[in-house]
Amino acid sequence: MKRIYLDNAAGTLIDAGVLKAMLPFLKENFGNPSSLYKEGVVASTAVAQARESIAKSVGVLPSEIIFTGSGTESDNLAILGTVSAFLSKRQKGSKIKPHIITGSVEHMAVLGVIEELEKKGIVEATYISVDDKGAVSLEELKNALKENTVLVSIMYANSEVGTIQPIREIAKIVKKYRELKKTNYPYVHTDACQAMNYLDTRVESLGVDLMTFNGSKIYGPKGVGILVAKHYVDIDPIVFGGGQEKGMRSGTENVAGIVGTAVALEITEKIKKSEVKRLTALRDYFMKKLEKTIPNVTINGDRENRLPNNVHITIPNIEDDVLVIALDAKGVACSSKSACKMAVGGESHVIKAMKGKADGSHLRFTLGRSTTKKDIDYTVAALGKILEKYKNI
């Protein structure tokens, strides 16, 4: 049976060119980048070249690129590092508690750490609401800013429903506030993991101070995250040890993964325009075919202002795990929520924030470079047959 993979938001197949670039650093060029002899120099040179390539792709200085072990770690570094730096530099005896603004539909890599800091009484947090399409309220954001706000963290594109957030407008609002108050805070952080393949991710264009992305969402390797931190951003490390990454992230660098991620991003930038056009057409075809074929289906998220590869639906009166497993049996891989949320279980906080409740079955289909129109036709037909089977149960 041919497998149809429609969960590219969870992870992507590694590109052949990426794997080819990585192999030498998994075999003969195995040295530790911190070593002074030849093998170490080869490895450190490869990391430096990858850093320069990635920096060029997102329009920053190489020194503004921090390599981590995942997108989650990069998000944690942005948040914990900002809070730690603020606390360590506040006036002695001050009890000012740092304030963070985030969205109610963020990935758990952001929500989890903020909730933990809040629970421990280290920060106070404001969770901006979203409309029924999943877009954050700019008016709420404006009203939430205050003297002790140190960070605004809003993801570029939602990992479940694909809605693209107004990051440029958010950055402008925050910049205007900083100018008015004559302060460096708050910084603006965006998790761009889902956006890298399809949207403009040049940091200057977005106006953000911190940006997270990773290799596994751009047809690169797992185990590599990147945090872009502009030179003026004051953050502390959260991992200590040998002082790698200029002290910002200790631990021996994943040389092969870093090299592969740089190549993956280069490829992504080259084909971005054509892939966006192709996938947008496929996405729209998919949504129309679902609405024509599946009774009572609802498309979630913004119909237009969404990722080109994302189709997220609700089907009433059936559990989503049932549909995910049934589709898998027919050769179709999809999900009901983000992979991280699947690991811990529970209903979709994204749908609940958008709709007020999370009833019914929620399916996320995320298309990729190998997806064809035939794959879409087969998937819709398979889903229709499954629903027909279960409608009387």
- In this prediction, residue 359 has a pLDDT band, given cuts at 50, 70 and 90, of confident
- Report how far residue 38's alpha carbon sits from residue 32's, in angstroms, rounded to the nearest whole number: 10
Percent of the chain scoring above 70 in pLDDT: 96
Token code pair at residue 227: 């945090």
Extract the tokens encoding 15: 């590109």
For 264, counting Cβ atoms within 10 Å of its Cβ (0-12 exposed, 13-18 middle, 19+ buried), the class is buried
C-alpha distance from residue 260 to each of 63, 154, 315, 331 (Å): 19, 27, 39, 29
Q: CATH 3.90.1150.10: which residues of the chain?
A: 4-11+272-390
In 3D space, the residue among 188, 275, 289, 177 whose CA is nearest the CA of residue 230 turns out to be: 188
Q: Rg of the chain's alpha carbons, rounded to an integer?
A: 22
Residues of the chain with CATH 3.40.640.10: 16-266
Contacts of 330 (CB under 8 A, 6+ apart): 382, 385, 386
The answer for residues whose C-beta is within 8 angstroms of residue 105's C-beta and 6 or more apart is 130, 134, 136, 155, 158, 160, 161, 349, 350, 353, 354
The architecture in CATH of the region 16-266 reads 3-Layer(aba) Sandwich (3.40)
Segment 239-247 shows an average pLDDT of 91
How much is the average pLDDT of 29-37? 91
Confidence check: pLDDT of 338 > 70: no
pLDDT of residue 340: 54
What pLDDT band is residue 2 in, cutting at 50, 70 and 90?
Answer: confident
The alpha-helical segments, DSSP class H, found in 356-393 are: 373-390
For range 22-34, the mean pLDDT: 93
pLDDT at 200: 97
Contact between 310 and 364 under an 8 Å Cβ cutoff? The reply is yes
Q: Which residues are catalytic?
A: 340
What is 256-290 written as a DSSP string?
HHHHHHHHHHHHHHHHHHHHHHHHHHHHHHHHHHH
- Residue 339, pLDDT score: 52
CA distance 287 to 310: 10
Is 70 exceeded by the pLDDT of residue 141? yes
Summarize the chain as % helix, strand, coil (round to 5): 45, 15, 40
Cα–Cα distance, 284 to 298 (Å, whole number): 14
Q: Which residues of 251-261 are buried (b: 16+ CB within 10 A; e: fewer)?
A: eebbbbbbbbb
- The average pLDDT across 387-393 equals 79
pLDDT at 162: 96
Q: How far apart are CA 6 and CA 244, in angstroms?
A: 37
Per-residue pLDDT tens for 70-128? 999 999 999 999 999 999 987 676 788 999 999 999 999 999 999 999 999 999 999 99
Which of 133-137, 181-185, 357-361 is least confident? Answer: 357-361
Q: Which of 115, 104, 276 shows the shortest CA–CA distance to 197? A: 276
Backbone torsions φ then ψ of 351, nearest 5 degrees: -65, -40
Strands 99-103 and 124-128: parallel
Both structure tokens of 210: 């911190």
Does domain 4-11+272-390 fall under CATH 3.40.50.1010? My reply is no
